[in-house]
Amino acid sequence: MPDVGAAVHEAELARGSTLPLALAAGAQVALAIELVAPLDDIVLRADLGLSSLTVADGTVRGLVHSLGHAGAGATVVALIDAAGKEIARANVPALAAPAELKPVTTPFALVGLPSAHVGWAVVIDPDGALTEISRDNNRVAVP
């Protein structure tokens, strides 16, 4: 049972996972981590990544790569402004897992980028619907 004032948070933790913590200076913090349910073997999951972002005439273009051991289901890619608001989205079809070192990619285009776009980003699967090896490569800053 948590102490008075304690926060309870459930998160998926696997090798390489991060857990955001805000620690106050001079405060004592105790973490109690409990296995709720075992995860599947994460190295056998799908994984998507972004590359080759280009910007021209208010449009961001790029490639979504399938990087994991398993194929990835259909999802979306979104253009996010500096405040975190979604400005545009495009469908991404299901992608097979790469085989024989041959890349599996699909292009996308997102319209609505202003000329001043500091802090803007492109995000794959912004709704978190896919189960992936890592979500760390799902967000790329717009150049």
Structural domain harbouring 54: 42-141
Residue 48 burial (10 A CB sphere; 0-12, 13-18, 19+): buried
* pLDDT cut 90: percent of the chain above it: 66
Residue 99 phi/psi, 5° resolution? -135, 150
The answer to the question of residue 94 being in a domain is yes
Instruction: Answer yes or no: is 113 within a domain.
Output: yes
Buried b or exposed e, range 72-92, using 16+ CB within 10 angstroms? beebbbbbbbeeeeebbbbeb
pTM for this entry = 0.80
Q: What is the CA radius of gyration of the chain?
A: 18
Q: Tell me: the pLDDT tens digits for 46-100? A: 999 998 899 999 999 999 999 999 999 999 999 999 999 999 999 999 999 999 9
CATH of the domain at 110: 2.60.40.10
Residue 110, token pair as written in the block: 């997102």
Stated length of the chain = 143
Q: How many domains does the chain have?
A: 1
